[in-house]
Amino acid sequence: MVALIFVVACVVAVFALAIRRASIETWAIAAAAAALIWQTGLIDGRFHAPALGLSGLIGWLPAIVLGLLSIASLRRSWLTGPVYHGIKKALPRVSDTESQALEAGTIGFDAEIFSGRPSWERLRAVPPIVLTEEERAFLDGPTAELCAMIDDWKIRHGEREIPDEIWDFAKRHGFLGMLISKQHGGLGFSAQAQSLILGKIASRSADVVTIVMVPNSLGPGELIEKYGTDEQKHYYLPRLAKGIDVPCFSLTGPTSGSDAATMSDIGWVTRGIHDGKDVLGIRLSWDKRYITLGPKATLVGLAFHLFDPENILGKGEDIGITVALIPADHPGVNIGRRHLPSGAAFPNGPNWGKDVFIPMEWVIGGQRMAGNGWRMLMECLAAGRAISLPSSGAAGAKAMLRFTTAYGRIRKQFGLAVAKMEGLEEPLTRMIETAYVNEAGRAVTAAMVSTGEKPSVISAIMKYQSTERLRQSVNDAMDLHGGRGICDGPSNYLQSAYQMVPVGITVEGANILTRSLITFAQGALRSHPYLFAEIKACQDPDTKRGLAAFDTAFRNHISFSLSNAFGAFAHNITGGLFAPVPEKAYGTAEWYRQLGRASRNFALVADVTVAILGGGLKTRQKLTGRLADALSELYLLACTLKRYEDDGKPANDRLIVELAARNGLYRFQQAIGGTIDNFPNVFVRILLRALVFPFGRPYKPANDRLGHEVVKLAIQPGEVRDRLTREIYISRDVNDPTGLLEVTMEKVVAAEEAERKLDRAIRSGAVKRFHGIDWLADAERLGILTTAEAGQLREVEALTARVIAVDHFDPAELKPHYMKPGHNMLGAQGSADVSRPRSAAAE
Ligand SMILES: Cc1cc2nc3c(=O)[nH]c(=O)nc-3n(C[C@H](O)[C@H](O)[C@H](O)COP(=O)(O)OP(=O)(O)OC[C@H]3O[C@@H](n4cnc5c(N)ncnc54)[C@H](O)[C@@H]3O)c2cc1C
């Protein structure tokens, strides 16, 4: 019995020390104390001298080993030294561009998840949505006005252009310069305001938002604001802010897409004639494609690799990636031709040039910043990626839900609104969850950027998750609409999103790359508490200094790993009962607990994966992709809980939060379980399975009943539907296809009682509903409907007929006007433009 108590006490002590990340010295003292208590009989009060001989030595062994390892010099020669030298030898060289990408941006709540013990206070410290009066007025004023001006069909089909009046309005009101500071003539809006403005426009037109988004993200405006010379700032920023100059940013080329840093666009430092003077400059040759706004741009931001064979700049021969500003009308710049991305209308096209001379002062930041292009781009990308596509991802999901809940309520088949059919409840449930969660992630992330963060890992999560989830929402919306969503025309409000989803998926880091390579690999290096320090120490050319730094990081890393293993196991056998919950988490305490438990499991599996796979991480993309998904689910669930609190915990939203939490945890479990099941090392697989799933897989997705309850809330006009679709553009004009939906839905709901009476009469055969019969007049005559009810239904039927109508055209109207006779796909009037580089001409 005494022995049993002793063993239990030791196990408890081991758990407590491991979870509290005890130092090696503390472990040594604890092991010595345990040996002393056991060997001297202190445990049962029969004190005697410690046992000697082999058995005595075995009892003291852990204390002796740990004691010796707590002496720095011994530890370094026996343990950390050999590990350090082993890793140093095996570590692949990290290229300059890779390390610049890794060091760009900031870490924030992602590090909390990697730590396995997220600080809820840190999450709560992120401000809720706050706009200045000026920003709110802009969102409700000019932004809504711009949305009202948009005729999506005219843009996508009629003109395949953004009309001049839209460009003029956007320029006049400063939409193109929202991120440019007031000092330089821009609006100087916060990231939160920019995100909401972009979202509102995106909910109306995916084409129009693109012309606003690009100048406010990687367009050269931000690069100039942050890195430009004073002359560049004073000249270009006011022009960009007012749209006098329209920018584009050219990075991608035929051979350098995802791997943009390997571009073959080249510049040589040389002297040349500019404006009649002999000046220092760069001779450039480039070939870029897919460049948004290119065909309309007056100012081209161009990324190229700069060389200086004569070392004129004193930075060596290979200077590196450099970014310059080139007026589109500069001699030798070929620009203006258009691609046709997904049949959309926003300007996008190639540009190229051969041996074009530019003066050195056109480099952003001047000669001083030559070679710093990649770092500049990565830093701006970290913030921009957190705003632009997540804003469209959230707005798109909200708009899809708004339109689909209305149409699903209006459209009846088998005598029932299609939104009320159980089969369609499934896609609707998914859409509700996505609208809520995408918006939660958008709002929290934008608030982080507003406070000065440039969250590189979180922005990658938001980019791929919000666009991927939007893709599902658009498909779900299409399914519910049936043929009405598929047939295009002026009354189709889904096609624009359907066409543009692949663009969001592909740009700013194509999703598969972002998921499987960037999010977890970068996250593990940046957000893991010790890994980056260990790798940096291994790369330190000063071995002594490197070993000392490595020793500190490695010690902490071991405590961290032990803490995760024991902490995760403890949470998993107690169902997360003891996981920390923040104050006043009424109604959501369970989700905080499960999130804390899941974070522990994530930290454990992530840590082991990195330790075992090491340099092989880049190629094990199915594992890193799953870990990216697991990390994303935890981040988005944290944002969901925060949104619910920031919104004041509306009673009706509690079920939506529960739905999102259950599904998010279930998807987390699938991702982390999939990682463990496919782990290449069988012993690790067995160990992780025992620690993470000691009693099997605990989470189940939200059940059908919960789905039914939330759909019931969302297909009803009112506060839940309004909150789910907040801050998108909502028309109430019956001559606008989306306004017609809104108005009709309300009238359909109001006329439900009368509709039921009519349905009963039709089913009983008292009234017949066929072409050529006025069944409403019959029902009124038979006393089934009152005159007011018959009038109400007459209006509903007329509106419904318009909502479900599908456009049809004279065949001549549908001839694509970009295929005029004599044109071919290569160049103007049937001949490929021979001055183009071969790769571009061969597209
Ligand atoms: C409409 C549109 C607008 C654009 N606007 C601009 C712009 O304004 N400026 C600009 O510079 N560029 C722009 N781009 C380019 C865009 O950024 C690239 O298309 C993108 O980087 C992907 O390159 P790619 O299309 O060549 O695909 P590829 O690089 O050929 O990728 C093909 C597939 O392979 C995957 N993949 C590639 N490498 C890896 C890896 N290591 N691990 C796992 N998966 C990988 C990708 O995820 C993708 O699924 C635009 C593109 C489009 C289509």
pLDDT digits (tens, 9 = 90+) for 650-660: 999 999 999 99
User: For residue 624, how far is its CA from the centre of ligand 1 (angstroms)?
Assistant: 20
- Report, as an integer, the average pLDDT of 484-489: 97
Q: What is the model's pLDDT at position 819? A: 58
* pLDDT band, residue 539 (cuts 50/70/90): confident
Within 192-276, strands assigned E span 247-250, 266-274
Kindly report, residue by residue over 101-123, the tens digit of the pLDDT.
777 888 999 999 999 999 999 99
Contact between 838 and 253 under an 8 Å Cβ cutoff? The reply is no
* pLDDT band, residue 842 (cuts 50/70/90): very low
CA dist 229 and 227 (Å) reads: 7
Q: What is the model's pLDDT at position 729? A: 98
- Report, as an integer, the average pLDDT of 674-699: 97
User: Is the predicted pLDDT of residue 47 greater than 80, yes or no?
Assistant: no
Which one of 265, 385, 471, 513 would you pick to mutate in the ligand 1 pocket, going by the greatest count of ligand atoms within 8 A of its CB? 513
User: For residue 299, how far is its CA from the centre of ligand 1 (angstroms)?
Assistant: 23
CA dist 614 and 628 (Å) reads: 16
Nearest CA to ligand 1 atom 42: 513
Active site residue 508: yes
Q: 522-551 as b/e, with b when 16 or more CB fall inside 10 Å? A: bbbbbbbbbbbbbbbbbebeeeeebbbbbb
CA dist 504 and 389 (Å) reads: 7
CA dist 147 and 132 (Å) reads: 21
Q: Residue type at 69?
A: L
CA dist 371 and 351 (Å) reads: 22
Kindly report, residue by residue over 158-207, the tens digit of the pLDDT.
899 999 999 999 999 999 999 999 999 999 999 999 999 999 999 999 99
User: For residue 509, how far is its CA from the centre of ligand 1 (angstroms)?
Assistant: 6
Counting atoms of ligand 1 from 1, which one is nearest the CA of 508?
17
Nearest CA to ligand 1 atom 30: 257
CA 556, 558, 562, 567 torsion-angle sign: positive
Q: What is the model's pLDDT at position 522? A: 81
Nearest CA to ligand 1 atom 14: 290
- Report, as an integer, the average pLDDT of 712-727: 97
Q: List ligand 1's pocket residues with C-beta within 6 A.
A: 249-252, 257-258, 290-292, 341, 348, 503, 506-507, 510, 512-513, 516-517, 621
Least confident of 76-90, 360-374, 808-822: 808-822
CA dist 686 and 577 (Å) reads: 25
Q: How far is CA 749 from the centre of its chain?
A: 36
Q: What is the model's pLDDT at position 833? A: 42
Phi, psi for 596 (deg, rounded to 5): -65, -45
Which one of 258, 264, 338, 518 would you pick to mutate in the ligand 1 pocket, going by the greatest count of ligand atoms within 8 A of its CB? 258
167 vs 148, 228, 357, CA distance in Å? Answer: 14, 26, 31
Nearest CA to ligand 1 atom 45: 513
What lies within 8 Å, CB to CB, of 254 at 6+ separation is 287, 289, 839, 840, 843
Nearest CA to ligand 1 atom 11: 251
Tell me what the pLDDT averaged over the chain comes to.
92
What lies within 8 Å, CB to CB, of 206 at 6+ separation is 344, 346, 392, 396, 496, 497, 499, 500, 503
**Of residues 222, 425, 439, 508, which has the active-site annotation?**
508
User: Is the predicted pLDDT of residue 134 greater than 90, yes or no?
Assistant: yes
The percent of residues above 70 in pLDDT, for the chain, comes to 95
Which one of 264, 290, 323, 505 would you pick to mutate in the ligand 1 pocket, going by the greatest count of ligand atoms within 8 A of its CB? 290
Q: 4-19 as b/e, with b when 16 or more CB fall inside 10 Å? A: eeeeeeeeeebeebbb
Which one of 507, 515, 622 would you pick to mutate in the ligand 1 pocket, going by the greatest count of ligand atoms within 8 A of its CB? 507
Nearest CA to ligand 1 atom 4: 290
Counting atoms of ligand 1 from 1, which one is nearest the CA of 342?
1
Least confident of 78-87, 422-431, 573-582: 78-87
Kindly report, residue by residue over 216-236, the tens digit of the pLDDT.
987 788 899 999 999 999 999
User: For residue 263, how far is its CA from the centre of ligand 1 (angstroms)?
Assistant: 13
Q: What is the model's pLDDT at position 837? A: 44
What does DSSP assign to residue 260? G
Q: Is the pTM value of this prediction over 0.85?
A: yes
User: For residue 467, how far is its CA from the centre of ligand 1 (angstroms)?
Assistant: 15
User: For residue 382, how far is its CA from the centre of ligand 1 (angstroms)?
Assistant: 17
Kindly report, residue by residue over 826-836, the tens digit of the pLDDT.
444 333 343 45
- For 452, the token pair is 């000065």
- What H or E segment, with its residue span, contains residue 285? strand 277-292
User: For residue 285, how far is its CA from the centre of ligand 1 (angstroms)?
Assistant: 21
User: For residue 99, how far is its CA from the centre of ligand 1 (angstroms)?
Assistant: 21
Kindly report, residue by residue over 320-342, the tens digit of the pLDDT.
999 999 999 999 999 999 999 99
* pLDDT band, residue 545 (cuts 50/70/90): very high
Nearest Cα residue to 566 out of 21, 113, 26, 27: 21
Q: What is the model's pLDDT at position 835? A: 46
CA dist 446 and 442 (Å) reads: 6
Counting atoms of ligand 1 from 1, which one is nearest the CA of 344?
1
- What H or E segment, with its residue span, contains residue 294? none
Instruction: Let me know if 573 is exposed, middle or buried by CB neighbors in 10 A (0-12, 13-18, 19+).
Output: exposed
Counting atoms of ligand 1 from 1, which one is nearest the CA of 214?
8
Q: 364-401 as b/e, with b when 16 or more CB fall inside 10 Å? A: bbbbebbbbbbbbbbbbbbbbbbbbbbbbbbbbbbbbb
